């Protein structure tokens, strides 16, 4: 049963709540954690779709080749690998094949040279064709896309291909290198498949992100995890954010009148998938009350259908005048989510031309980040606010740095991978 395979933990940001004459805000952290690492990981169907356009020359290309080689060396003979390279044309460098001859695969990677422009849809189409050869319930399918540039005129086709891949159960890790790529497009490609998108500032970091994608794939404990929170009458959900593995605003779509339904995605060993909920709870007398029931659905490898684990959520109210007891871990996540929200709104306002509003929100985000000890990111956020105030506008690098670094506030890059 899943109760043994996955743990569901629910923690209030403050408990007990004081008895008051009006409804009050309560923060709830819900975490899904896989139990133990399986002795044999589920075999992978792993496809690289790599940009080798002219702008990738030099350190970018060499770092990409080295990072790809490290992944190949870490695959098992049970895994399948394929490599597609694209510029304004496409080449299937390694058709889908079991990773039983690493030397041959490494030799193929070594032949990659830079050339031409950027036509991402060609790469995605070729990657899709290779992944389809080994699609099936007996292996997990992943596509790792790396690009350093804009693709021209085929963005909608790229999104259609990502939707098709998502329907087939493929996860896309979409990685942008440097500052010239379209973050909205890469975010959309990842979101369509339940995957991840991210920003790589320096070529030397490519290996870190490739290794993280591989470890995440190899450590998959359950797929398509979903959280359903059934709320008692008068409990009003106001907002829901994913907190880990990265911060994301899940919007209003998951929120119903009496329930919240959230897609948690795949559960990975050594990683917690969690959401922070902002709830308005009704007036209660002193005592302990049921506020909601949490229900986690997830499919374990090899299982025919989803398993379910349930938990009742109780919250205590008190008339005692003792100072409120806050859970520091929950409130730290709430603060990080707040910093993320402020910078997200700041970037949106800057795009609309409301520079004073954007500046104000960036300064508020910088204050939160300082309080959280995120000194480097706070300094960069302040610098962007200064630029806006001086009428310079946000730099492409600054925008990407803020957008992706604040998503990663709840995780740290493993520098050992660099």
**Please, are residues 85 and 93 in contact by the beta-carbon 8 Å criterion?**
yes
**Distance in angstroms (rounded) separating the CA atoms of residues 249 and 228:** 17
Edge-to-edge strand list for the sheet holding 287-299: 17-18, 307-318, 287-299, 220-231, 259-268
Pairing of strands 196-200, 259-268: unpaired
Contact in structure between 235 and 291 (CB atoms under 8 Å):
yes
Q: Give one DSSP letter per residue of 34-70, joined into a string.
A: E-S--SSPPPEEEEEEEE--GGGTTHHHHHHHHHHHH
The residue among 294, 380, 292 whose CA lies nearest residue 343 is 380
396-407 vs 375-389: helix axis angle to the nearest 10?
A: 140
pLDDT at 77: 96
Segments of the chain scoring below 50 in pLDDT: 1, 413-418
Name the one residue in this structure whose structure tokens are 């007996």. Answer: 138
Phi, psi of 318 (to 5 degrees): -140, 150
**CA-to-CA distance for 146 and 327, rounded, in angstroms?**
39
Sort strands 17-18 and 6-12 into parallel, antiparallel or unpaired.
Answer: unpaired
Q: Is 129 exposed, middle or buried (0-12, 13-18, 19+ CB in 10 A)?
A: middle
In this structure, what token pair is assigned to residue 43? 């075999």
Is there a contact between 202 and 217 (Cβ–Cβ < 8 Å)? no
pLDDT of residue 2: 52
In the three-class reduction of DSSP (H, G, I as helix; E, B as strand; rest coil), residue 134 is classed as coil
Residue 323: the pLDDT is: 67
Q: Pick from 175, 186, 209: which is nearest to 56 by CA?
A: 175
Task: Name the residue among 248, 258, 262 with its Cα closest to residue 340.
Answer: 248
Picking from 275, 224, 268, the residue whose alpha carbon sits closest to that of residue 249 is 275
CA angle 411, 326, 258 (to 5 degrees): 80
Give the separation between CA 7 and CA 283, rounded to whole angstroms: 31
Tokens representing 200?
A: 């790589």
Residue 391 dihedral angles phi and psi, to the nearest 5°: 80, 15
């Amino acid at each position: 049963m899943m109760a043994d395979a996955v743990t569901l933990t629910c923690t209030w940001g403050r408990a007990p709540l004081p008895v008051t004459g009006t409804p009050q805000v309560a923060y709830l952290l819900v975490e899904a954690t896989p139990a133990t690492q399986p002795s044999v990981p589920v075999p992978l169907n792993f496809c690289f779709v790599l940009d080798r356009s002219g702008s990738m020359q030099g350190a970018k290309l060499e770092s990409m080749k080295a990072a790809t080689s490290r992944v190949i060396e870490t695959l098992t003979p049970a895994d399948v690998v394929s490599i597609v390279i694209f510029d304004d044309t496409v080449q299937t460098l390694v058709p889908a094949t079991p990773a039983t001859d690493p030397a041959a695969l490494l030799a193929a990677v070594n032949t990659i040279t830079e050339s031409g422009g950027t036509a991402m849809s060609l790469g995605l189409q070729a990657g899709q064709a290779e992944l389809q050869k080994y699609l099936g319930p007996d292996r997990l399918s992943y596509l790792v896309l790396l690009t350093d540039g804009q693709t021209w005129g085929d963005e909608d086709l790229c999104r259609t291909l990502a939707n098709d891949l998502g329907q087939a159960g493929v996860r896309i890790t979409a990685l942008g290198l440097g500052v010239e790529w379209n973050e909205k497009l890469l975010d959309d490609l990842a979101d369509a498949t339940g995957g991840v998108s991210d920003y790589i500032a320096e070529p030397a970091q490519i290996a870190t992100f490739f290794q993280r994608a591989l470890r995440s794939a190899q450590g998959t404990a359950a797929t398509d995890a979903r959280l359903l929170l059934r709320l008692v009458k008068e409990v009003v959900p106001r907002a829901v954010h994913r907190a880990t593995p990265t911060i994301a605003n899940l919007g209003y779509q998951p929120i119903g009148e009496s329930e919240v339904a959230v897609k948690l995605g795949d559960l990975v060993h050594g990683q917690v998938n969690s959401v922070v909920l902002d709830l308005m709870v009704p007036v209660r007398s002193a005592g302990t009350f049921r506020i909601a029931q949490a229900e986690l659905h997830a499919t374990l490898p090899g299982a025919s259908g989803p398993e379910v684990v349930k938990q009742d959520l109780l919250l205590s109210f008190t008339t005692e005048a003792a100072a409120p007891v806050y859970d520091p871990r929950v409130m730290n996540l709430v603060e990080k989510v707040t910093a993320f929200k402020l910078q997200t709104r700041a970037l949106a306002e800057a795009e609309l031309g409301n520079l004073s509003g954007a500046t104000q929100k960036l300064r508020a985000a910088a204050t939160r980040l300082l309080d959280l000890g995120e000194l480097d990111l706070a300094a960069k956020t302040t610098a962007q606010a200064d630029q806006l105030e001086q009428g310079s506008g946000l730099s492409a690098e600054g925008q990407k740095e803020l957008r992706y670094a604040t998503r990663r506030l709840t995780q740290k890059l493993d520098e050992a991978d660099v």
